[in-house]
Amino acid sequence: MSHTEVKKINSALISVYHKDKLDAVVRLLDELGVAIYSTGGTLDFINGLGVKAQPVEDLTGYPPILGGRVKTLHPKVFGGILARRDNAQDAAQLSAYNIPPIDLVIVDLYPFADTLRSGADAQAIIEKIDIGGISLIRAAAKNFADTLVISSRGQYPALIELLQTGKGATTLDIRRTFAAQAFQQSSYYDTAIFNYFNAREKSPVFQQFLTDSVPLRYGENPHQQARFYGRLDELLEQLHGKEISYNNLLDIDAAVALIGDFPETTFVVLKHNNACGCASNAHPLTAWRKALAGDPVSAFGGVIITNRPVDAAVAKEINELFFEVIIAPGYSDEALAFLKTKKNRIILILKNAALPALQFRSLLHGIAQQNRDTAVETPKDLTPVTTKKPAEKEIADLLFANKLVKHSKSNAIVLAKDGQLLASGVGQTSRVDALKQAIAKAQTFGFSLQGAVMASDAFFPFPDCVAIAQEAGITAVVQPGGSINDEKSISYCNEHNIAMVTTGIRHFKH
């Protein structure tokens, strides 16, 4: 069979949920002399345009039944779609049973996903599972050698152009292209239905389908190709700046996850997915200044996020720093005037900080799935294990530090005081190295660790970390606990008047 084989469209079956923009298609088919078959509301719509269409029930001999659940499921419909025109036996059966060939199928499915998102009740959701429409799409796509399938209203402009330029004729390559798009639509539709049912059944099956995607300039490095699948505009609105890169996305993801744990006014500066500066303070400008002070060197070229609108005073100071991305729930006009002075600077509005409950990662030749770490410790989750109990101010700092260590690459140690990140050690192969890194960093930027607190993402296997921390001035420690050597660390704290609390929750992050 030649890939340029041309087929003239003589007949069409149209059955759509949404009728918008269908009128132009119908009028053009009518001009081309195409016989139209249709059902229900679509038939009424076509007749309302003054275009003649034959009811499908006249073809099948059966009216729609079961409240419209069955309209097109009939051999006289599917025979006309699936018949192979160059097959003598198929042609003979069409003639014997008086089945007209159908050359074009136009379907727009019931809006299952939209109904699900609307919060409709279970019965309304079930009724939006399309049966006849999805069957028509699959049948026409299977027989692309003879039949053209239009599987969504988004394809109407392409169909109109095709009909106009080809005067109602199509090539095999074109029909195959539309068939591939039809099976994509079918797969997406069935995936949405499966995931709806599987929310309760919880079958151990990885099945996701994202139709929206954008190419990225490159991946982590220029020699790597990259693409993002999903709808960023559901979470973020970009007001200014260059295209978001792969590395930007990684930092933005880390930033949004972190800021979601802070209800109080907070600024965070991130670099390579880790917080290098963070501070909570009722006054946004103070919070920004303290966050930047945590590591003004690493802040260069970083990502900034806050959970409060940015005003002119804050924006003026932020603008003094070179950074890649800023994320906030809003900006004053004066603030945007400052921030937009750099043409490439990415300015984002965070519309919704709710991230998916599940996380996926490609590993080896498969995919690993886990629940997102949504644990956020509160004062009642802190179990004192030492003679000395942390003071109220220390408890606030311990919880602050614990949020940060949760979002830091393991092994991680965070040192904090007065709602400010003083320093952190992240991504180290030993907890001792992470602590030493944090202490050295704090000293580099002139911070005193006297009265500061320490958070660890995992337990201390030996008392060496608390010993080093005590010598640096740390007075309170939070850690998950659970080591067989917990008592050694606790005893050291008791001997040196350090308060320690455990949470029972480990926060590894890799």
User: Which residues carry out catalysis?
Assistant: 142, 272
DSSP structural state of residue 249: H
Q: Measured between alpha carbons, how far is residue 427 from residues 65, 157, 373, 411 in Å?
A: 64, 52, 18, 5
Ramachandran angles phi, psi of 11, nearest 5°: -145, 150
Pairwise CA distance, residues 190 & 125, whole Å: 14
- Tally of CB atoms within 10 A around 254: 23
**Tokens 């609108």 belong to which residue?**
309
Pairwise CA distance, residues 316 & 337, whole Å: 9
Pairwise CA distance, residues 421 & 433, whole Å: 18
- Tokens found for residue 84: 């192979």
Three-class secondary structure of residue 452 per DSSP: coil
Q: What is the DSSP string of 137-175?
A: HHHHHHTTTT-EEE-SGGGHHHHHHHHHHHTTEEEHHHH
Pairwise CA distance, residues 224 & 438, whole Å: 33
Pairwise CA distance, residues 244 & 346, whole Å: 7
Task: Pick the closest to residue 379 from 366, 361, 398 (CA basis).
Answer: 398
- Tokens found for residue 462: 């030996």
Bridge partners of residue 2, in order along the sequence: none
Bridge partners of residue 477, in order along the sequence: 454, 500
Pairwise CA distance, residues 222 & 181, whole Å: 31
Task: Pick the closest to residue 114 from 232, 214, 230, 17 (CA basis).
Answer: 17
Pairwise CA distance, residues 441 & 461, whole Å: 24
Task: Pick the closest to residue 143 from 94, 211, 207 (CA basis).
Answer: 94
- Tokens found for residue 234: 């559901």
Spell out a b/e string for 401-425, using b for 16 or more CB atoms within 10 Å of the CB, else e: bbbbbbbbbbbbbbbbbebbbbbbb
298 close to 248: Cβ distance less than 8 angstroms: no
- Tally of CB atoms within 10 A around 267: 30
Radius of gyration of the chain (CA): 31
Three-class secondary structure of residue 124 per DSSP: helix
First to last CA, the chain: 53
Task: Give how far the C-alpha of residue 493 lies from the chain's centroid of Cα atoms, to the nearest Å.
Answer: 44
Pairwise CA distance, residues 510 & 201, whole Å: 30
